[in-house]
A and B are shown apart, each in its own frame.
Chain A
Amino acid sequence: MSATTDLTEPAVSPAEPAAADTTRRRVDLGRFRELSLVPAILVLGLIGFIVSPAFLTADNLIGVAQQSTELSLLVLATTFILISGRMDLSLESTIGVAPVIAVWLVLPTSGGRFNGLGLLPEWTAVPLCLLVGALIGAVNGFLILKLRLNGFIVTLGALTMLRGLQVALSQGQSIVELPSSFTYLGKASWLGVPAAIWVCALLFAIGGSTLAWLRHGRALYAIGGNAEAARTAGIRVDRIVWIVLILGSVLSAFAGILYSGHYGSLSATQGSGWIFQVFAATVIGGVSLNGGKGSVFGALTGVLTLQLVVNVMTLAGVPPLWNQFLNGAIIIVALVISRFASGEKQE
C-alpha cells in the first residue's frame, strides 16, 4: 500500500521537489548575506595591519569601537524603523536636542556660562533626556500614524525644527558644565573597556534577539513586508510601529548621553549630518529601505566597516580632509557588491 503511494507521489508533482531544492539553496545564500561584510572587515583589518603597526593594538581597536558607539545606536534604531517599513530622519537631531533640553531643565538659573531653569534636581538629567526622546518619537508617531502624514517629510521637518530648537536653547554655544550623572556612562571604564561599549553590546544583543526570537520582533518583518497581511494576521500594526518609533528616539537620546559624556561637552552641532552615515551603514549592512528585510548583526557590520575605513585611512596617513570622499565611495562600492552578491535588485 505504502509502496504505491510512494510511487505515485512524485509522479503527481514532479516539479515540486526540485523547486523545494532550489529554494532551500537560496535561503542558505540569504543567511550568508548577513555575513557579506565580514570578509570586507577582515580585509580592512589586514590592510590596517600592513599599513601601520599601531592598528592591531588594543588601544586603537577600543578607540574605533568607542567612536562607533553613538553612531551604532542610531543604526540600531534605524534598523528597527527601516525593517518595519518606516523612516525617521529626525534621529540625528534627537541625539542633540534631547540632552540639551534635559540639561536646560536641571542646570541652575545662574552662576554658570550656560543658565538653565533649575526646575529639577541634577540626577534627573538622564531620565529626563530619555523621556524627551520618547516624547519626540511619540509626536512623530502621532503625525505619521494618526494624522497619516508622509513619514519622510514629517521627520525631515522634525529634523530641522529640533536642530533649531537645540540652537535656540543653547544659544548656539557648547555646554560644558554637565551634571556628573550625565557624563558618567560616556566616560567610565568597566574592566578596562569603556562602559559605552558594554552598554552598546548589550543593547545590540537585546535588539538582535528580539528581532530573531520574539513574536513582536518578527512582527516588524511582517509589517515591513506587507502591512496589510500583518493586519489580517492580527498584528496591531500601528501600535507596534508607534512603539518602534518611540524606541528609536529613546535610543537616539541615549546615544546623545554617551556622546556628551565621551567628549565632556554638548556642542550645538551634535549629530549634525549623521543621518547620512546612519542610513549608509544600515543599508550596506543589508537592511532594505523598503522594509521587511535585514538584521541587527548586518547593520552592526555596516557601522564597523565605515569606522574601520576611516581608521585605516587615518593610520595610513591619508589627510582627514579626504574622509568624506572615502565614506561616500565606500557606500557606493558596498552597494554594488551587495547587489551582485545577492543577485537582487535594489529599488
Chain B
Amino acid sequence: MADTATAPATGPGTPAPVAEATGISKRFGATVALRDARITVAPGESHALVGRNGAGKSTLVSILTGLQQPDTGTLRFSGEPAPAFGDIDAWRSRVACVYQRSTIIGDLTVAENLFLNRQSGKAVQPIRWKQLRRRAEELLGEYGVAVDPAARAKDLTVEQRQFVEIARALSFGARFIILDEPTARLDARGIERLFEKLRDLQRQGVAFLFISHHLQEVYDLCTTVTVYRDASHILTAPVAELGHQALVEAMTGESASAVTATGGRPAVRSAADELLTIDGLTLPGVCEDMSLSVRAGEVVGLAGATASGNVQVGEAIAGLHRARTGRVSVGGRTVRTGSVPSALTAGVGLVPEDRHLQGLVNNRSVAENATLTVTDQLGPFGTVLPARTRAFAGRMIRDLDIKTPGAATPVSALSGGNQQKVVVARALATEPHVLVAIRPTNGVDVKSKEFLLGRIRQVADGGRAALIVSDELDDLKVCDRVVVMFHGRVVAEFDRGWRDEDLVAAIEGVSGDAPPAATFPVSAVSASSGADEHGR
C-alpha cells in the first residue's frame, strides 16, 4: 500500500486537493509503467492528463481508482490517506471513474446497471424492482440524463450509455471523477452534450481528471494540463499559458512538425484521370443518389456526423454494402457493390472504422495481419510461404515505421497507434488505386496521427487516389477537397483553405452564414486557433 507516513502535509490555507499522488512508481516485470510520477487535482478543477500511448496514463488511472497497487509512492484524497487496497466501496466514495471500455452490461436494464451489485441492502434481502427503478429515475434526473431506467442498456446510444456510466460513477458520492477517453466513441454532437454535462457538474463542485488524445478537447474543457511521457511526469501547467505547439512538444519530446507540412504541394491538375467515380449511389436507409469523384493524385475528405452516412458510403466503395442503385467504378472498371473481392481486384484498399472489430485478428502476428489481403501473392497454388510472408511484412514494417519487437509479435501487444499502422499497411499491401480510410486516426496518438496522415498524402502524391472518411478536422486538413454529407446527401464541398466554422456548420447541418456560436460542437470551435499555430 502507499506509504502514508511520509505524505507531505498540504499547505495551510488552501483546501486540500481532491486527489494527490506523489512519487508513484510501478513496474510490470521488466517494463516500467510509471517512474516517480505525480499529479495533484484541486477541488472543482478540470484537469487534463495527456501523453502518447504508453506514457503511463492508464496505469495511473488504475492506481488512482484502487485497481492496482503502486510499488512506491503516496496517494491522498482530500488530504486523507487512500483507503486500504481492495476496499472497493471506500475507493469509490473518493474516486469515480468512467473507463475507456464500456462497463455497461447490455442485457440488463439501465436501472440494474446503475445499481449493479447494490440492488438491495443486504445480500439475502430480495431486490424490490419497482423501488430500484424509482431510485434509478431519481439518480438519472439528478444528473439530467433523459433515459428510461427500464430500457435495456444495449438499446441505448453510445452517448446515453456514457451518461449512464457517469451518473453511476458519481452516485457513490465521489466529488472527483476520472474520464478515460470519454469522447473516443462519440460524434461531435455527442461530445458537445457530454461537455455541457461536465461543465454543469463542475459548477456543482466536481473535479475532473480528463484523459484524451484530442488536444482540442483539452483546450475546450480543462483549466490545467499535466503531460506524461515515457512513464514520467513532464509538466503541469494552466492550459491557457501553454500553446498548442508547446503542448505537443511536451508530449513528443521534440518540436512538432505540423500535420500540415504538406502545404507546399502542387495543386492537383484538374485534367488528371478520375480514379474513383461514384454515380447515383443509393444505399437503402443510408444515402440517396450520391455522386462523388476522386482524381488521381487527389485526397478527398468525406465529412459528416455519425448519422450522415459517410462511413457507409466509404464501406460501400470497399464492397461491404450492396447498393440499390448507382455505380461505383475504379479506374473505369465497375465494382460490383456488396462484393469485397470485386472491390479488391478493382484496386480499392480499405482502412476500416473500428480496427478491433473490422481490422485486426488480435492474437495473430503483425506479419499475418499485414498480409491478410495479399495471401495470393505469398506463394504458388494457394500456399502461403512463411519466408515470403516475413519478407513482405518486413517491408511493411519499415514502410510504415511500425514499432514492433518483430514481425511475429501478436498484434494485440502493440500500442493503438502501431495497431492502426498495421491496418493501414494491410490496406496498402494490395497497392490499391484508391485508398478508402475511415477515421484513420481514431484513438491514435499525435505522432502516429501525423505519420498516418502523411502516409495517406504520399499515396495520392504517387498518382493514386485517397478518400478520407472522417469528422475529425485534423484528418480533413490534409485533403485537397472536403465533401460534406448530411443525412445521406452531399450538402457542401470545400476546397483547401476552408474555415473550420464553415465546415463544422455544414457537418452539423447548420445552414446560414452566422449560426449562433453555441451550436458548434465545442471540439471544433477553437480548432482554428490550434491550426493557426501550425502556420497554415
Contact = CB atoms under 8 A, between A and B. Distances in A.
B88 A226 contact: no
Contacts of B112: 218
Contacts of A216: 123
A23 B127 contact: no
B151 A215 contact: no
B510 interface: no
A213 B127 contact: yes
A235 interface: yes
B105 A214 contact: no
Contacts of B101: 228
A187 interface: no
Interface string B99-132: 1011111111100100011111001111100000
Contacts of B155: 19, 22-23, 26
B105 A232 contact: no
Nearest to B118: A215
A280 interface: no
B152 A20 contact: no
Contact of A229 (B103, B125, B151, B152): B103
A292 interface: yes
Interface in B352-389: none
Nearest to B157: A19
A179 B389 CA distance: 68
Interface string B477-519: 0000000000000000000000000000000000000000000
A24 to B, nearest CB: 6
B119 A229 contact: no
B457 to A, nearest CB: 37
By CB atoms of chain B within 10 A, which of A215, A216, A293 has the most?
A: A215
Given A26-B155, A233-B117, A235-B116, A226 B105 contact: yes
B152 A235 contact: no
Contacts of B156: 19, 23
Given A23-B155, A229-B102, A233-B116, A221 B107 contact: yes
A306 B155 CA distance: 33
B69 to A, nearest CB: 16
Given A26-B152, A214-B120, A222 B127 contact: no
A157 B157 CA distance: 43
A26 B107 CA distance: 12
A161 to B, nearest CB: 29
A229 B126 contact: no
A24 B92 CA distance: 31
A215 B123 contact: yes
Contact of B151 (A20, A213, A222, A225): A20
B89 A226 contact: no
A87 to B, nearest CB: 18
Contacts of B184: none
Interface in A303-326: none
Interface in A220-261: 221-222, 225-226, 228-230, 232-235
B531 interface: no
Contacts of B109: 27
A230 B116 contact: yes
A19 to B, nearest CB: 7
By CB atoms of chain A within 10 A, which of B116, B120, B150 has the most?
A: B116
Interface in B128-146: 146
Interface in A287-309: 292-293
Interface in A172-189: none
Main secondary structure, interface of A, reads helix
A118 interface: no
A75 interface: no
A292 B152 CA distance: 13
A30 interface: yes
B116 A214 contact: no
B148 interface: yes
Contact of B117 (A19, A27, A219): A219
A13 interface: yes
B147 interface: yes
Interface in A26-52: 26-27, 30
Contact of B148 (A23, A226, A292): A23
Contacts of A342: none
Contacts of A226: 103-106
B107 A213 contact: no
B177 to A, nearest CB: 14
B120 A20 contact: no
B221 to A, nearest CB: 20
B306 to A, nearest CB: 12
A50 to B, nearest CB: 39
Contacts of B123: 214-216
A6 interface: no
Interface in B335-366: none
Contacts of A20: 146-148, 151
B153 to A, nearest CB: 9
Given A213-B127, A292-B107, A24 B151 contact: yes
Given A30-B152, A226-B103, A229-B103, A215 B120 contact: yes
Contacts of B102: 229
A315 B157 CA distance: 52
A209 interface: yes
Interface string B242-269: 0000000000000000000000000000
A218 to B, nearest CB: 6
Nearest to B129: A213
B88 A215 contact: no
Contacts of A24: 148, 150-151
Contacts of B88: 234
Contact of B106 (A27, A225, A232): A225
A222 B153 CA distance: 12
A234 B152 contact: no
A16 interface: yes
Contacts of A26: 152, 155
Contacts of B107: 221, 225, 292-293
Contact of B124 (A16, A214, A233, A235): A214
Nearest to B105: A225
B119 A218 contact: yes
A17 B151 CA distance: 12
A14 to B, nearest CB: 11
Given A23-B148, A213-B126, A222 B105 contact: yes
Contact of A234 (B89, B104, B126, B146): B89
Given A215-B120, A228-B101, A209 B146 contact: no
Contacts of B152: 23, 26-27, 30
Contacts of A233: 103, 116-117
B140 to A, nearest CB: 11
A225 B102 CA distance: 12
Contacts of B126: 209, 213-214
A18 B143 CA distance: 20
A4 B104 CA distance: 34
A229 B117 contact: no
A232 B99 contact: yes
A221 B117 contact: no
22 contacts: A16-B147, A19-B156, A19-B157, A19-B160, A20-B146, A24-B148, A24-B150, A26-B155, A213-B126, A214-B127, A215-B118, A216-B123, A218-B119, A221-B105, A225-B106, A225-B107, A228-B101, A229-B105, A229-B116, A230-B105, A234-B88, A292-B105
Given A215-B125, A218-B119, 4 more contacts: A17-B146, A23-B151, A215-B118, A233-B103
5 closest residue pairs by CB, A with B: A23-B151, A229-B103, A225-B105, A213-B126, A23-B155
Interface of B: 67, 88-89, 92, 99, 101-109, 112, 116-120, 123-127, 146-148, 150-152, 155-157, 160
